[in-house]
Amino acid sequence: MRDFSPDGLETLLSAMVACGADPESRAWRDLARVVYTAARADPSVTRLWPPYTAQGQPTEVASWRELAQEIRALASRDTATQQALTEWLHHHHGPARTSPGSAPSATANVISGDSVLHGPSVQARDIHGGIHFHSPSPAPPPRLPVPRQLPPVTARFLDREADRRTFDTLRARRPAHAPQILVVSGLAGIGKTTFAAHWLYEHAAGFPDGQLYADLGGGTADGPLSPAVVLEAFLVALGASSVPAGIAQRSALWRSLTAGLRLAVLLDSAFTAAQVRPLLLGTPTGLTMVTSRNNLTGLRADGAAVHRLEGLPAGAAVELLAVGGGTRVAREPAAAREVVRLCGRLPLAVALASAQLALRPHHSVSALADSLSGGRGVVDALRVDGEAVMHTALDMSYDVLPHESRALYRRMGLLPADRFDLSFLTGLADDGEGSPGTGQSADIAVNALVEANLLEETGPGTCRFHDLVQPHARRLGKELEDLGGRERALRRFVDWCLSTAASAEGILTPSHRLPGHGLPAGTVPPTPLDGPEEALTWLDTHRNGLMGAVRHSDRAGWDFSCWRLTDLMWPLFLRLRPSGMWIEAHQLGLEAARRSGSREGEGRMLTSGAIGLRNAGRYLEAADWYRQALETATADRDVRQQAQAVSGLGHVSLLAHRLDEARDHFEHALRLRESIGYRRGAALSRRRLGETALADGDLTTATEQLRRAHAELDALGETYEATRVLALLGHVLDRDGDRDGGVRRLWEALARFQAGDARSEHWEARCLEWLGQAAESRGDHAESVRYYEAARDLFRRLSPEDAQRLDDRLRQP
């Protein structure tokens, strides 16, 4: 072992200076390894290496001396550094020395001890004449360019303003003491790499020491790339003359070399957090950005912020479609919006659709929309060089899922729903033989789907497929699930819809329950619903799935389920008024009830379905359904249903402004209901009589009937119906001159319709319109406009005809 005593410093310094004369020599490269070994014990030593100025000129001896002192000090307390330094001195010991104790030859010039020679020198016995030295300065080592490795970006980069602002905010809030890690996650084709590269290009001035890039292969068929391979490429790019063999040593050297650098690193298409972790920068001056189809939740423990990219805004997506579609997109705006919707607003899918339009300049946007909506669908139809790239990407995401998640994914794909409750998925995640799985196994399976961005959470306990993921899941379900498995999954889904809809009905409209028609024992447990507001929110959230269950029951011949589920959806129809769904469900339910021979079901479908037809303005059809219901109820001697049908005929007459006919029907219905002691029904008949008197201009009778109806409904605890009557009463009082009393009641009703037991957007809009009328009658034009606009905005989603009516009113001076 070499001597590391103080008098050995000059020996080490002499050897270092000698090797420094040739930076291309083996001695220089081996000395660099010594420095890197020492850096593992103390990374600060790298600040002294290499000992060259920025201009590539040799440094003064003082710089070599500082490096020698630091290395010797580390060698005295670190075994690895001591061994590396000893080995280097053994092979590169500097100028020749005589052996201790030997006598110099007669002709030798002796340089002994720890003497150090700097610069050109001659060792000789006799020198004659003048000697001139002409040694050129050593050539500086070639300096590597600052790495700028980001992939090129597209010329057209649309929107993403909100995402840019989010990243700017995250960058500005970075902790001063900790490295920053930003993760961009999202579905395949969502534009993660493009967004990340664009953002880093925009902020290139903040990273003067370079931008490194690596594709980690998480979305390729070859599988994820080893972090050791990536580290080797990064170290070479930063000028490391040699790279350690082990990943731990490479990672340590990576952190040492990047310490203090203002460097950006883009790790693209990462597969797992474990793959990323060795590549993270260790300095707060740098930024590591990661893109992945997975959420990489594990990186949160390392301080990462995860941002999930969604599809493009509709306007930006249409603009992208126009790149290839040109003026056709502007000529067919509705078809363009449909293409964008079918593509799920994914930049990749929209770009492929745009390319198809460019390829076929005489192909209309409408024809493309028809092509994508039928046949193989978007996932299979949009191709690059013959490959269905979206299909391939989704297959790869599916293939790496755990077994339980793949099974759940397939079964969910079979279901005619766009929202799923975790409580239901617990039952669906069974063992394939119909026995229910555990909540824990379902939770694990769902978590894996969410982590892979195949499923997204939309609320507490609720999730959905992306629009392009669902067709892929459905195809796999049909291909890989046997017939029995498919039927079990669909039967479980329909039963869950029945049980939860029954629970919602019991909370929102308990008086609507149909006696003697409870659900069979062993039905799938319902989703727990805590109160009226949660029940109505569940119906609204799952309206498409409920309708899908009705349609499937009709196709499968499950007649009881078809009409019974339609009947249980009454609170949905009553409060939210989806006219098209209302009519379709009752048409299917009516046929199913007749096929099954259920007279009660037939009567309920006729009366409830007629209300949907009436609300849609189809008065003749509504009257026909009411008459059929009256005939059925009369034949069955069902007085309650007779009154319901007669009241419905009265409402059709009222809407047609046949007021005498309407009054006769409502009075007949009132007598029938009072004859059987049906207090709620009698109060509702009085409400209709009040509306008829209002339409006839008899405000005194209208006020009397509505007061009685409100008092009776309030006493019965019928909050929703009582609030509807309260709103009507407020409107009548305002019309009759009691403006303060009328407006006070309208405000009270509005508050109940906006939240709580009586929540209803339709009646909220009606209250706002009536408040607008009250303001207009007071001469407050500005306030009336505010009310009318608020009502119109609600009606746009619920009733386009009412929205148009208010638009017309707002245009009036």
pLDDT tens for residues 596-631? 999 999 999 999 999 999 999 999 999 999 999 999
Q: Give the 3-state secondary structure of 591-605.
A: HHHHHHCCHHHHHHH
202 and 293 belong to one structural domain = yes
277 and 406 belong to one structural domain = no
303 and 348 belong to one structural domain = no
User: What are the structure tokens assigned to 90, written together?
Assistant: 């053994």
Taking a C-beta distance cutoff of 8 angstroms, is the pair 352, 384 a contact? yes
Evaluate if residue 487 carries a pLDDT over 70.
yes
344 and 289 belong to one structural domain = no
Handedness of CA 468, 474, 480, 481 (dihedral sign): positive
Q: What is the mean pLDDT of residues 23-30?
A: 77
Evaluate if residue 140 carries a pLDDT over 80.
no
User: What are the structure tokens assigned to 731, written together?
Assistant: 């409107």
The answer to the question of residue 258 being in a domain is yes
The answer to the question of residue 68 being in a domain is yes
Q: Strand, helix or coil at 267?
A: strand
Assign residue 435 the CATH number of its domain.
1.10.10
The answer to the question of residue 82 being in a domain is yes
Per the listing, tokens 């693209």 go with 268
Evaluate if residue 533 carries a pLDDT over 70.
yes
188 and 260 belong to one structural domain = yes
Evaluate if residue 528 carries a pLDDT over 70.
yes
The sheet carrying 211-215 orders its strands as: 211-215, 264-270, 287-292, 180-185, 305-308
How many CB atoms are located within 10 Å of the residue 663 CB? Answer: 19
pLDDT digits (tens, 9 = 90+) for 175-188: 778 889 999 999 88
How many CB atoms are located within 10 Å of the residue 151 CB? Answer: 12
State the DSSP H helix or E strand holding residue 183, giving kind and residue range, or none if neither: strand 180-185
Provide the percentage of residues in the chain whose pLDDT is more than 90: 54
Tell me what pLDDT residue 19 has.
80
Tell me how far apart the alpha carbons of residues 617 and 614 are, in angstroms, rounded to a whole number: 5
370 and 436 belong to one structural domain = no
72, 91, 110: which is the final residue of a domain? 91
The sheet carrying 462-465 orders its strands as: 420-421, 462-465, 455-459
Among candidate residues 92, 95, 32, the one with its CA nearest the CA of residue 67: 32
276 and 334 belong to one structural domain = no
pLDDT digits (tens, 9 = 90+) for 202-228: 998 899 999 999 999 887 767 788 999
Which of 436 and 73 is assigned the larger pLDDT? Answer: 73
Evaluate if residue 71 carries a pLDDT over 60.
yes
Taking a C-beta distance cutoff of 8 angstroms, is the pair 293, 224 a contact? no
291 and 188 belong to one structural domain = yes
Evaluate if residue 60 carries a pLDDT over 90.
no
The answer to the question of residue 47 being in a domain is yes
Q: How confident is the model at residue 745 (pLDDT cuts 50, 70, 90)?
A: very high
Q: What is the mean pLDDT of residues 385-406?
A: 84
Tell me how far apart the alpha carbons of residues 644 and 628 are, in angstroms, rounded to a whole number: 12
The answer to the question of residue 336 being in a domain is yes
Evaluate if residue 376 carries a pLDDT over 80.
no
Q: How confident is the model at residue 504 (pLDDT cuts 50, 70, 90)?
A: very high
Q: Strand, helix or coil at 155?
A: coil
The answer to the question of residue 541 being in a domain is yes
Tell me how far apart the alpha carbons of residues 383 and 355 are, in angstroms, rounded to a whole number: 10
Evaluate if residue 123 carries a pLDDT over 60.
no
Evaluate if residue 732 carries a pLDDT over 90.
yes
The answer to the question of residue 735 being in a domain is no
Tell me what pLDDT residue 103 has.
41
Q: Strand, helix or coil at 693?
A: helix
339, 367, 391: which is the final residue of a domain? 391
Domain count, the chain: 6
196 and 259 belong to one structural domain = yes
Tell me how far apart the alpha carbons of residues 543 and 433 are, in angstroms, rounded to a whole number: 29
Evaluate if residue 444 carries a pLDDT over 70.
yes
Q: How confident is the model at residue 155 (pLDDT cuts 50, 70, 90)?
A: low
455, 481, 507: which is the final residue of a domain? 481
User: What are the structure tokens assigned to 689, written together?
Assistant: 């009589």
Among candidate residues 490, 590, 501, the one with its CA nearest the CA of residue 540: 501
Among candidate residues 293, 392, 366, 191, the one with its CA nearest the CA of residue 353: 366
The answer to the question of residue 611 being in a domain is no
How many CB atoms are located within 10 Å of the residue 736 CB? Answer: 15
Which of 562 and 452 is assigned the larger pLDDT? Answer: 562
Tell me how far apart the alpha carbons of residues 784 and 682 are, in angstroms, rounded to a whole number: 35
Q: What is the mean pLDDT of residues 785-799?
A: 92
Q: How confident is the model at residue 127 (pLDDT cuts 50, 70, 90)?
A: low
Taking a C-beta distance cutoff of 8 angstroms, is the pair 612, 583 a contact? yes
Helices marked H in 42-106 — which ranges? 61-75, 79-91
Tell me what pLDDT residue 762 has.
92
How many CB atoms are located within 10 Å of the residue 595 CB? Answer: 14
* Owning domain of residue 455: 401-481
Tell me what pLDDT residue 708 has.
97
The single-letter code of the amino acid at 786 is R
Q: What is the mean pLDDT of residues 365-388?
A: 78
How many CB atoms are located within 10 Å of the residue 813 CB? Answer: 3
Provide the percentage of residues in the chain whose pLDDT is more than 70: 89
172 and 233 belong to one structural domain = yes
189 and 263 belong to one structural domain = yes
Evaluate if residue 521 carries a pLDDT over 80.
no
Bridge partner residues of 297 (DSSP): none
